[in-house]
Structure 1
């Protein structure tokens, strides 16, 4: 790749404005495979990955970008999901702090890191199921079924804990439900949660803290700990 093209981002496809004016669907479209590979190959694969350091969950974006550049989309999807149980949601809605850390931005336009995460899931196998850790025979309560509560439940279940998540609303997601549908499609959160199928997580909906229970009452019921995510 020549120096002149390395600093130019592969354009992200968008729905035609005339079509957007008549519907409320997503406005950004995914890269196709060729576009994703072209954009991934702009990456310098820095020895010091400032993109990873800038990510709040230290997602290995350098790694999945390298795999996409090698046209290994299945491996890129697996690596993405290894660190990020809400990848389908976040590949469309996160603030992409990683791109603020991308050194390509110093002389041109940062790598489209978030959109490449989406490409990994669109073109790689994203239907894996998480495997729980060795059972610890202890249960933890999580209060709140939004992003923080879901992430906490996932982390604990991978470590072998049983988890019960209490959510006041009749649905999971918390603030995710407030994201406009031109950014996030219906069913995206469900696709992420489908990978939790084998984890020992019980979702209890329609139960409100301070009304139906308190953190103290949960401890008396035998929960090892209570994580409040509201």
Structure 2
């Protein structure tokens, strides 16, 4: 008989008073008993609505049934038929707006904790690595973020000789430089990337395609198809007065220093500010990551967001964790200027209060400024987390590569760009989005590469 409790099996978490000053993983994961208990809440629906909410169409009811029967290795194999990186996705996917949103159990209670179960299976199952016969054709992957990794492993499994070209000294893209250790331990990312070597995927770090090598160089090197997964690494700013003051940084820079360059670890010499009061501007997951890192490295942190909590795009769990860790939320608040002292350093922020308007055609409510609502907040550091744009390097160096007005690479239904046999996906195409959507794009591109070359 299924477990008919209406609530998810609770996840053990590190205590907020402890975790607000360390970078150890917050969510501690299910025990085996918890996982099996939660797996038994799955109704194994005939039409599998949860799968429709998954960008890579994981066989969700099937893997959960294996888990419910204590067949953890079989559950992992079932997941990996469509998702090569479950230990990452189980931690960072917005399941509540994807697979769990479609779960029938959510009609009268809480959805099955699909993400937590995926994480458990990935952490405790043993995968069977199969040998692949190579077909001798070379495929190049530009960028080792989630889109590039996904495309790479599917191409490798199809028999291609795959090489990933990564601009940074470490692989993983946003998984490594963007998402903090307390949400996605880098040991997990390393384990997943190391697994690529079972399929003879080669990774060349410190290679900037568009500078060190061109696409033409790759053709000359014998590559038959390329995939661009260069991400959205260009930070956006508000263009308000004094935004160039000392102490105003993008979330990209701040998180790169924290995560890739390990500024949180005293064994590394990476310089990073440890201010008395940091203001983070934004309401997405990147804003939450930046705010929670700042809380661990500084004293007071305030998050400023121009809409209400209901409109905040960040995952509900991340918002709750940020609040538990002592971060102050100033909603319906928008910056209009940065204040600086006589040395050009940040000394405060001038803000206005906002009012919600009517929903637009997408259902999102607009905002307008309240009259005579200007006020100041004293601070000594500001992190801008208001979005990113596609990395411009390739479009600037490859004039045949078509981009749209936002600078994102244009692709057709097969993920092919305006250049024959050059495919693209992830944030470089969509703009900043989720890890799993990027992986889905990489997977689709791999299918198209196989269709073209095999």
Q: Same fold, TM exceeding 0.5?
A: yes
State the partner residue of 1:119.
120
TM-score (norm 2): 0.48
- Aligned pair 1:186/2:186, yes or no? yes
Instruction: State the 1:44 CA deviation.
Output: 0.6
Count the aligned residue pairs.
227
Look up the match of 2:29.
30
Residues in 2 aligned to 1:35 and 1:175: alpha-carbon distance in whole angstroms: 31
Match of 1:198 in 2: 198
CA deviations on 1:45-66 (whole Å, 9 max, x unpaired) are 0111111111111111211111
Deviation at 1:83, TM superposition (A): 2.3
Contact 2:87/2:123 (8 A) holds in 1: no
Q: 1:27 to 1:74 in 2, by over 3 A?
A: same
Is 1:106 the counterpart of 2:127? The answer is: no
Matches of residues 210-221 of structure 1 in structure 2 within 5 Å? 210-221=210-221
- Cα distance in 2, alignment partners of residues 50 and 131 from structure 1: 34
Contact 2:142 2:164 in 1 (8 A): yes
Q: 1:2 Cα deviation (Å)?
A: 7.5
Check if 1:146 corresponds to 2:151. Answer: no
**What residue in structure 2 maps to residue 167 of structure 1?**
166
The answer as to whether partners of 1:130 and 1:196 remain within 8 angstroms in 2 is no
Tell whether the 8 Å contact from 1:51 to 1:100 is kept in structure 2 after alignment: yes
Give the whole-Å Cα distance in 2 for the aligned partners of 1:186 and 1:84: 19
Please identify, of 180-189 and 38-47, the stretch whose mean Cα deviation from structure 2 is larger.
180-189
Ranges in structure 2 where 5+ consecutive residues have no aligned partner: 231-454
Look up the SS of the partner of 2:120 in the other structure: helix
Shift of 1:180: 1.3
Show CA shifts across 1:58-112 (max 9, x none): 1112111111111111211222233222222111111121111111111110000
How many Å apart are 1:214 and its aligned residue? 1.4
Listed as ranges, the matches of 1:34-113 within 5 Å are 34-96=33-95, 97-113=98-114
The C-alpha deviation readout for 1:199-227, integer Å capped at 9, x for no partner, is 13111110101111111221122111111
Distance 1:167 1:130, change over 3 A: farther
CA distance in 2, matches of 1:15, 1:33: 18
Contact 1:87 1:192 (C-alpha < 8 Å) held by counterparts = no
Q: Larger Rg: 1 or 2?
A: 2
Unaligned residue ranges in structure 1 (runs of 5+): none
CA distance in 1, matches of 2:82, 2:2: 33
- TM-fit CA distance, 1:198: 2.4
Report what 1:129 is aligned to: 129
3-state SS of the aligned residue for 1:164?
strand
- 8 Å Cα contact 1:141-1:163 kept in structure 2: yes
CA distance in 1, matches of 2:224, 2:141: 11
Distance 1:16-1:162 versus aligned 2 partners, 3 A rule: same
Answer yes or no: is the 8 Å Cα contact 1:64–1:76 preserved in 2.
Answer: yes
Preserved contact between residue 157 and residue 200 of structure 1 (Cα < 8 Å): yes
User: Larger % of strand: which?
Assistant: 2
Q: TM-score, normalised by structure 1?
A: 0.92
Of structures 1 and 2, the one with the larger relative CO (CA 8 A, separation 6+) is 1
Question: CA 1:180–1:115 in structure 2 vs 1: closer, same or farther (change >3 Å)?
Answer: same
